[in-house]
Amino acid sequence: MEKPFSNHLAGETSPYLLQHAHNPVDWYPWTDESLNKAKNENKLMIISIGYAACHWCHVMEKESFEDPEVAEAMNAGFVSVKVDREERPDIDQVYMHAAYVVTGRGGWPLNVITLPDGRPVYAGTYFRKQDWLNVLNYFSTRFKADPAELSRHAEEIHQEVKRFDKAPVSRTPVVKNPEELEKLFQEWLRILDFSEGGTKGTPKFPMASNLEFLLHYGFLTKNPEALRAVELTLDKMAAGGIFDHIGGGFSRYSVDDHWHVPHFEKMLYDNAQLVSIYSKAFRFLRKPRYEEIVRSTLIFVKREITSPDGLFYSSLDADSEGREGEYYTWKGAEVDQHLGDNAELFKEYFCITEDGNWEDGRNVLHVSKEDLGIKHGMSNEELNRIVNKSINILFEVRQKKIPPSLDNKILTSSNALMISGYIEAYKAFGDQEFLQKAERAALIYKEMLDEHNQLYRLYRISNIEHPVSSIQHPPSSIRKQTAFLDDYAFLIKAFLDLYQVTFDDSWLVRTETLIDYTVSHYFDPASGFFFFTSDYDPALIDRKMELSDNVIPGSNSMMALNLFIFGRITGKGKWSALAKSMLDKMVSSIYNNPSFHSNWSILLTHILIPPYEIAIVGSNCLNLLNEFNKYYLPHVLFYGGIAESGNEMLKGKEVHGKTMIYVCREQTCSEPFDSDEKALHYLQTELEHG
């Protein structure tokens, strides 16, 4: 069907921008053309930021951006610019901080009114149609009546925006006293929810880096509360509606405090990190349910968000058929129709009611707290058989429904997280397919640097057609948008992870290349931290640093952790020293707000309790390495090879005709062991005695 309107987004490749390409609003992408148009015509700008899977973005589009009255107001008085926040997180960061200045909160869609020079005068998230018209009318009138006063107001907001994420100037050198970790954990106890898991309050996000730190800390200190917090959270999420019990994978967050009702969009970055933490927790706690969660999630990843060349797409929408959660929720009558005699048991198991446990008589599946085996006089094996058979039936039914739209962008940062997720699953379960998928994706990135070692944020936007999508995707686009610090940081981590399971020195070589590039083009010697954008990137109204951790670890904390690990496994101490220097400036922030500095806290743990390094040299090195990988050893770094290699740390460790294991700490090594059992026993003894 021919569209009545087409605007300047029609030639874009972002699925989010293409969703708006036929709005009557005369949208522009973020380009020099659109920015210069606002200046040349002396018009206010509307900068509207979102992403393809965002439910409330769709709502505001339908209510406002598809409305002729709203479009007329926007087209008459403004230059309107649409931004995909996943393509341009740098723009999103700047204007999200403006929203916090103006309203005290953020989110998407993010809608900002700016002066022609890009300085914000107002920012908010979702607006109903009339509220949005009121905002447009107010600022249009105010700009015409007193532009100088509005400019003064904009400069006040601009100065506040500049204060966000500024590097700390004070230093609190970390003292190597492990008791400092207990002090830090006392701060965690103030915020942990020991009833429902996660941290207190709503909504509940699966903050994987929080769980990473708590599991790491609990392992080292044997602190039962830390371990209970991790296990409780993982169990609650696995039982809750945030997990897709029919098709696998996790939604972005839960809107309630019980993990029951999700915000249904599925993001690659969430699922990648959750694969990692469930794999690590399995290696420590050995709960079969965690293996089920990992394998089910990876089946989802393979089936629904893996590209033909082995990379990974960004997300699946929250909506389908015009309704949020339509694809994932069920009416009681549907379950009766398809499951027959097993319907009642299945409905009990997943808390399905005739009236619905969510909206419009629909049900979100979450596992009952009742012991239904005892209640119905059947074994757990029989109960699980019936439930799994029913899941398979409903999965086939669901496959015939119209699925949510796919955002087929391939982002470097999210793909790197998925590579690391596959590696953790490989370590936990020894499945060679998982390692092969990690290597296949990483090899593409290994070869895609340009002649200046510059990385790109978008590897490819595929030209596939999704069954539900009315969007016509343009031909594949290679290498779009230069990378940001998070792309480098997570890819460096992925390469380090790969080296530590393959002992392939080429990953270390590529890691050093990326580190050198980021230090040259992102590092700020004045503050001792990394900017989010490179010195090549066009300037925005502020050049940001990402210092805190959130749903995704911050790029500075990940760079610091990378530098520390790379320095330890190569003996290049200048990088570990730089990591410690960065950490010293963050210590106060870590203690003041631990849940938003959890990745920094992992580095703090490494500094306070120096990690062990295990070197394995000889023809049997990988088989022995795989034995170590079966155990959760978060405080151990690995390096090795069939023979002494270019890695300085392996010099003098080769013994002809034998494979030897060395347990080292701060470059002081044990006598060599000829079996993993002996080395593990020695390591366990060392860990118990600190």
Q: Which string of DSSP letters, residue by residue, matches 512-524? A: HHHHHHHHHHTEE
The total domain count for the chain is 4
| Whole-number Å distance between alpha carbons of 57 and 52 | 8
Is the confidence at residue 364, as pLDDT, over 90? yes
Are residue 313 and residue 443 in the same domain, yes or no? yes
Taking only the tens place, the pLDDT of each residue in 55-76 is 999 999 999 999 999 999 999 9
- The CATH number given to whatever domain includes residue 486 is 1.50.10.10
Closest Cα partner for 497 from 592, 427, 400, 547? 427
Q: Does residue 171 fall inside a structural domain?
A: no
| Whole-number Å distance between alpha carbons of 329 and 466 | 21
Q: Which residues contact 12 (CB under 8 A, 6 or more apart)?
A: 18, 21, 29
Regarding pTM above 0.75, the answer is yes
Structure token digits, residue 500: 């530590």
Taking only the tens place, the pLDDT of each residue in 385-416 is 999 999 999 999 999 999 999 999 999 999 99
| Domain limits for position 639 | 612-688
Is the confidence at residue 464, as pLDDT, over 70? no
Quickly state the pLDDT bin for 468 (edges 50, 70, 90): very low
| Whole-number Å distance between alpha carbons of 588 and 590 | 5
Taking only the tens place, the pLDDT of each residue in 514-526 is 999 999 999 999 9
Structure token digits, residue 228: 């209970």
- The CATH number given to whatever domain includes residue 621 is 3.40.30
Taking only the tens place, the pLDDT of each residue in 29-57 is 999 999 999 999 999 999 999 999 999 99
- The CATH number given to whatever domain includes residue 49 is 3.40.30.10
pLDDT, residue 44, reads 97
Say what percent of the chain tops pLDDT 90. 88
Which whole number is the average pLDDT over 474-478? Answer: 47
Picking from 379, 399, 419, the residue at the C-terminal end of a domain is 399
pLDDT, residue 113, reads 98
Q: Which residues contact 543 (CB under 8 A, 6 or more apart)?
A: 531, 532, 533
Going by the DSSP 8-state scheme, the letter that residue 407 receives in this structure is: E
Taking only the tens place, the pLDDT of each residue in 82-135 is 999 999 999 999 999 999 999 999 999 999 999 999 999 999 999 999 999 999
Are residue 342 and residue 315 in the same domain, yes or no? no
Average pLDDT, the chain: 93
Q: Does residue 362 fall inside a structural domain?
A: yes
Picking from 399, 418, 452, the residue at the C-terminal end of a domain is 399
Torsion sign over Cα 297, 298, 302, 307: positive
Are residue 561 and residue 677 in the same domain, yes or no? no
Is the confidence at residue 302, as pLDDT, over 80? yes
Structure token digits, residue 256: 């309630």
Which whole number is the average pLDDT over 334-363? Answer: 96
pLDDT, residue 165, reads 75
Are residue 622 and residue 596 in the same domain, yes or no? no
Quickly state the pLDDT bin for 473 (edges 50, 70, 90): very low
Letter for the amino acid at 406? L
Taking only the tens place, the pLDDT of each residue in 136-158 is 999 999 999 999 999 999 999 99
Picking from 608, 630, 646, the residue at the C-terminal end of a domain is 608
Is the confidence at residue 470, as pLDDT, over 50? no
pLDDT, residue 469, reads 35
Are residue 149 and residue 22 in the same domain, yes or no? yes
Q: In DSSP terms, which residues pair with 324 in a beta bridge?
A: 319
Are residue 186 and residue 289 in the same domain, yes or no? yes
